[in-house]
Amino acid sequence: MQYDFNKMHEREGTACVKYDLREMYFKRADVLPMWVADMDFETPDFIREAIVERALHPLYGYTFRDEKYYTNIINWFQRRHHWHVEKDWILFTPGVVPALNIAVLSYTNPGDKIIVQPPVYFPFFTAVKDHDRTLVYNQLIKGEKHYSINFEQLEELATDAKMLILCNPHNPVGRAWTKNELECIAEICLKHNVLVLSDEIHSDLVLKGHKHQVFADISPEVADITITAHAPSKTFNIAGLATSSVVISNKELRLKFDKTLKALHVDMGNLFGFVASNAAFSKGDEWLSQLLDYVQANVDFTEDFLLKHLPKVKMFRPEATYMIWLDFKAYGFSDDELKQKMIMEAGLGLSQGITFGPGGESCMRLNVACPKEILTEALEKLCKVF
Ligand SMILES: Cc1ncc(COP(=O)(O)O)c(C=O)c1O
């Protein structure tokens, strides 16, 4: 079956963050929204049908995650990432960001140092700061073509840090970290007893020519210090269902995480999230393959367009995720000027680079998970102003 990713949908009026909160975020309700990380593509039919089928049964009472729920996740990891996971290792969380916060609460104390590698997804900062832990930056190195990790600095910071929150693959700069890079991180963290919280929410969105390496799968020793967070939400556009998991093979670490999860009473989940997760992980391969082709084509289109019309905008070609990191440094605007130009002159709602922390200066993140028609309109708007 050929899926139609060109299909346009009216999302306004569905209490949709991306469209219905534009006034709040951009002070302008009519910007073309290319920001928050969800897709303008419809959630695949096999997920919608499974939800509708369950919804037709007139009772939505307390529901548990049955054997099938775990088997589907386990088989997905095996099939897609050749990663062997056991049922006992999987814990439910109502989203990956909650998982980050629960891990911080479970394994660290106020004041403890936690390393993050900006520019990075901003809830990594709040997961540390909101619990009075100390945020430590190992800023990524901006290269000509892509970003890389400052291993020397990481080693220095690791000497007295408790945890590293790794974004694997990395949002917003689009790196699918190589096995070699991850092995270097692992070596440092093992040496200095630093736990690794590996956020792998984008791991199923790796583009052609690149491969996802599950951090915990580097070796049994690495698995022993790793908490992996994963979800079907980005991949299948079901973020509104708040359903995700953590995988922790180390029993001691798992029990600690579970204790916090239970104490907060957030492990119940929601019925429709389980139904969607089952459908996604058991039936999603072909749809995902077509989605990745479409996203890849949008990335190629953006790259060609910018080279031809806006060569001063530097694009960091993503190896994973459907976000493109753009650098406007050559224009010499301040971040505030850049933001104003983008919103008020171009009428575009992109994610501002500095919200991703140090290293985000002069950059903007463009979400290209949309029909090509929308992307073309966005690029044309950009062209008129820049
Ligand atoms: C790296 C990363 N982690 C987590 C999330 C969101 O996770 P959730 O909606 O499951 O809390 C995002 C969303 O963009 C993300 O990019």
Counting atoms of ligand 1 from 1, which one is nearest the CA of 120? 1
- Going from the Cα of 125 to the center of ligand 1, the distance in angstroms, rounded, reads 13
**280-329 confidence digits (pLDDT tens):** 999 999 999 999 999 999 999 999 999 999 999 999 999 999 999 999 99
> Cα–Cα distance between 3 and 371 in angstroms, integer?
12
- Name the CATH superfamily housing domain 17-44+285-385: Aspartate Aminotransferase, domain 1 (3.90.1150.10)
Q: Tell me the pLDDT tens digit for each residue of 100-126.
A: 999 999 999 999 999 999 999 999 999
pLDDT of the residue at 348: 98
* pLDDT of 295: 98
Indicate the top mutation candidate among 102, 121, 215 to test ligand 1's pocket, ranked by most ligand atoms within 8 A of CB: 121
**In which region does residue 367 sit, left (phi positive, over 0), alpha (psi from -120 to 50) or beta (all else)?**
beta
Interatomic CA distance for residues 72 and 278, integer angstroms: 6
Give the C-alpha separation, 76 to 85, whole Å.
10
| CA 123–ligand 1 middle distance (angstroms) | 8
For 128-169, what is each residue's pLDDT tens digit?
A: 999 999 999 999 999 999 999 999 999 999 999 999 999 999
- CA-closest residue to ligand 1 atom 13: 37
Identify the band that residue 234 occupies on the pLDDT scale cut at 50, 70 and 90.
very high
Q: Which is nearest to 328 in space by CA: 32, 340, 138, 24?
A: 340
What are the structure tokens assigned to 175, written together?
């790196």
pLDDT at position 47 is 98
Average pLDDT, the chain: 98
Look up the CATH number of domain 61-283.
3.40.640.10
Domain ranges of the chain: 17-44+285-385, 61-283
364 - beta bridge partners?
326, 352
> From ligand 1's centre to the CA of 386, what distance in Å?
30
Separation of CA 151 and ligand 1 centre (Å): 25
Q: Which residues line ligand 1 (CB under 6 A)?
A: 37, 95-97, 121, 167, 171, 199, 201, 231, 233, 239, 244
Whether 164 and 155 have beta carbons less than 8 Å apart is answered as no
Under the banding of pLDDT at 50, 70 and 90, the label for residue 245 is very high
Q: Which ligand 1 atom is at minimum distance from the Cα of 244?
A: 10
Please report the atom of ligand 1 found closest to the CA of residue 37: 14
CA of 167 to the centre of ligand 1 (A): 10
Q: Region 249-255: what's the mean pLDDT? A: 98
Nearest CA to ligand 1 atom 9: 95
Residue count of the chain = 386
What pTM was estimated for this model as a whole?
0.98
Ligand 1 centroid–CA 141 distance in Å is 23
- Amino acid code (one letter) for 8: M
Query: Ligand 1 centroid vs 308 CA: distance in angstroms?
Result: 33
Residue of 201, 277, 325, 366 best suited for mutating to test ligand 1, as the one with most atoms within 8 Å of CB:
201
HEC secondary structure over the chain: CCCCCCCCCCCCCCCCHHHHCHHHHHCCCCCEECCCCCCCCCCCHHHHHHHHHHHHCCCCCCCCCCHHHHHHHHHHHHHHHCCCCCHHHEEEECCHHHHHHHHHHHHCCCCCEEEECCCCCCHHHHHHHCCCCEEEECCCEECCCCEECCHHHHHHHHCCCCEEEEECCCCCCCCCCCHHHHHHHHHHHHHCCCEEEEECCCCCCECCCCCCCCHHHHCHHHHCCEEEEECCHHHHCCHHHCCEEEECCCHHHHHHHHHHHHHHCCCCCCHHHHHHHHHHHHHCHHHHHHHHHHHHHHHHHHHHHHHHHCCCCEEECCCECCEEEEECHHHCCCHHHHHHHHHHHCCEECEEHHHHCCCCCCEEEEECCCCHHHHHHHHHHHHHHC
pLDDT, tens digit, for every residue of 173-204? Answer: 999 999 999 999 999 999 999 999 999 999 99
pLDDT of residue 354: 98
Residues 42-72 have pLDDT tens digits of 999 999 999 999 999 999 999 999 999 999 9
The residues near 114 (Cβ < 8 Å, ≥ 6 apart) are: 104, 108, 128, 133, 134, 135, 136, 161, 162, 163, 164, 165
Sign, CA torsion 187/149/85/226: positive
Report which ligand 1 atom has the smallest distance to the Cα of 98. Answer: 11
Rounded distance from Cα 180 to ligand 1 centre (Å): 25
pLDDT at 306: 98
pLDDT at 375: 98
Enter the tokens of residue 117. Answer: 């590698």
Which pLDDT score is estimated for 154?
98
Which of 97, 202, 203 is the best mutation target for the ligand 1 pocket, counting ligand atoms within 8 Å of the beta carbon and taking the most? 97
CA dist 35 and 177 (Å) reads 23
pLDDT at 316: 98
Nearest ligand 1 atom to alpha carbon 231: 10
- Measured distance CA(18)–CA(36) in Å, rounded: 6
Best residue among 18, 124, 171, 227 to mutate for probing ligand 1's pocket (most ligand atoms within 8 Å of CB) is 171
pLDDT at residue 286, rounded to an integer: 98
